[in-house]
Structures are given as C-alpha cells and as structure tokens.
Amino acid sequence: MTKSNSDFDRFKEIVVNDIKNESSQEFSDYLHSSLKLWLFTLQNLRREVELQISCQNAKFKMDLSAINNEIDFELQEPDKEYERLSKINDLKSKHYKWKMSVLKFLTNIENKTLYVKYRISEQNTNIVQA
C-alpha cells in the first residue's frame, strides 16, 4: 500500500467515525479544513455501501433458494418443514437487522454529504464576496 492510499484510508476512517458521531472536535475541525476531500470520501463511501447492499441482497436470495432446495418436498415430513421455516425465518431476521443498520448508515452518509455540499457552497460564496 502506498503512502497516498494509507493517507486516504486514514481519512476515510475519520469520515466513518464522523458519520457514526464518534469523532472528536479535533477530527471534526480537520474534516472542515478538507471539504472537497471530505465530499469525495462521502461519495466513495456511498458507492461502497450501495454495492454492499446489492451484494447482500443477492446473497440473501441465494441463501433462501438453497434452504428451499435442501428439503425434499416429496417426503412432506412436518419436522423437515418446521426446520426449513425456522432456517428461513432466522435468515430473514438476520438480513433485515443488517439491512436496517446499513440503511441508517447510508442515510447518515447522505445527510453528511448535504452538509458538506452546503459548507462548500457557503465557502465559495464567501470567496466571491471577498
């Protein structure tokens, strides 16, 4: 990993902590001094999260299909049907908990993005007026 990549990864970590409201005032000040990089990082994070959501949705569908294909439906055994339904409900529960969390994170990214865009436009207005 190059110094440039490691610097960006560290900046990204600061941005993620800020999104989670876990950053100190010092890091918040640092982000405000690098508005364009902050915006770029937020946009990059949004794309990564959207890709994760897409991949996780595909995996969820494949896992559901695998559970349904495991059981021989010709046997029609009540215990097997209960086992299948239990696995499906467990999988759905885990998936929806994950999705709820990641959508909240994505919403926080969007809110921070709007804030940073506002700060950039405010900064540009101040430059024009000066």
Nearest Cα to Cα of residue 112 among 28, 42, 50, 8: 42
Q: Are 51 and 115 in contact (CB under 8 A)?
A: no
Q: Cβ neighbours of residue 98 under 8 Å, at least 6 residues apart?
A: 56
Angle at 81 between CA 79 and CA 82, to 5 degrees: 65
- For residue range 87-124, what is the model confidence (pLDDT) as tens digits? 999 999 999 999 999 999 999 999 999 999 999 999 88
Residue that wins the pLDDT comparison between 77 and 88: 88
CA 39 to chain centre: 16
Amino acid present at 44 = N
Q: What's the rounded mean pLDDT across residues 9-26?
A: 95
pLDDT digits (tens, 9 = 90+) for 52-73: 999 999 999 999 999 888 765 5
pTM of the prediction? 0.84
